[in-house]
Amino acid sequence: MAIREHERRQRQREQSPSQAGQRARSVVPRTAGARDYVLTFAEWCELNSFSEPTGKRIIARGEGPPVLQLSLRRLGIRMSDNLAWQESRVRASA
């Protein structure tokens, strides 16, 4: 039984990179008020294609977008703040 569980988890890991982009695209609502949509921390990390520990390091260094404290243990990032943060990170071509 343990071998089957290991194989199942390995298949999931192999499928994850291609499916991550599909999940991230489904996170963003397609409505007029999408800029005011608040992403959970996990959604923000997934949308920007990095892990949660990396996202925590970015926020801790003060290099990320403004963060909303949704509750004692829950963070959120406004979609408009994420877009502004992404635009601020664009590098000019050499």
94 residues of the chain, pLDDT tens digit each? 577 776 777 676 666 554 544 555 555 665 656 778 999 999 999 999 999 999 999 999 999 999 999 999 999 999 999 999 999 999 887 6
| Residue 4, pLDDT score | 73
| Residue 80, pLDDT score | 93
Ranges of each domain in the chain: 2-88
| Residue 50, pLDDT score | 95
- 40 exposed, middle or buried (CB, 10 Å; 0-12, 13-18, 19+)? middle
pTM surpassing 0.85? no
